[in-house]
Structure formats: C-alpha cells, structure tokens
C-alpha cells in the first residue's frame, strides 16, 4: 500500500466518506449476525418443541 495514495482518504472529505463506508459495512455485518442468531434461536425453539 502506498502512503501517498492513502493520504486522500484522510483529508476531511475523504475521511468522512471512508468513515461512512466503514460504518455502513459494520452495520451490515451486525445485521447479518443478528439475523443468524435469530435463525439459530428459531431452530433451537423448534427442536425444543419437537421433544415435548
């Protein structure tokens, strides 16, 4: 990676764009994890009901 090429991302406008992109990626990942946990909990609930 080039420090000179990366410098554009650390100016005010570049940093804002980079931050927004990172935040969007983070939130997308958190939604994916939440959905996976919800699906796993639903599967566990189905298994528990079948045992009864």
- Tens-place pLDDT, residues 3-43: 788 777 778 877 888 889 999 999 999 999 999 999 998 88
Calculate ∠ Cα 11-13-8, nearest 5°: 40
Residues ≥6 apart with Cβ < 8 Å to 18:
9, 10
5 torsion bin: left (phi>0), alpha (psi -120 to 50), beta (else): alpha
pLDDT for res 17: 85
Question: pTM (2 decimals)?
Answer: 0.61
Cα separation, 22 vs 39, whole angstroms: 26
Cα separation, 33 vs 16, whole angstroms: 26
For 37-47, the pLDDT digits (tens) are 999 988 887 66
């Amino acid at each position: 990676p080039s420090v000179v090429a990366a410098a554009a991302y650390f100016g005010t406008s570049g940093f804002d764009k980079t931050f927004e992109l990172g935040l969007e990626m983070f939130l997308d990942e958190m939604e994916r994890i939440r959905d996976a946990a919800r699906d796993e909990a639903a599967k566990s609930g189905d298994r528990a009901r079948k045992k009864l």
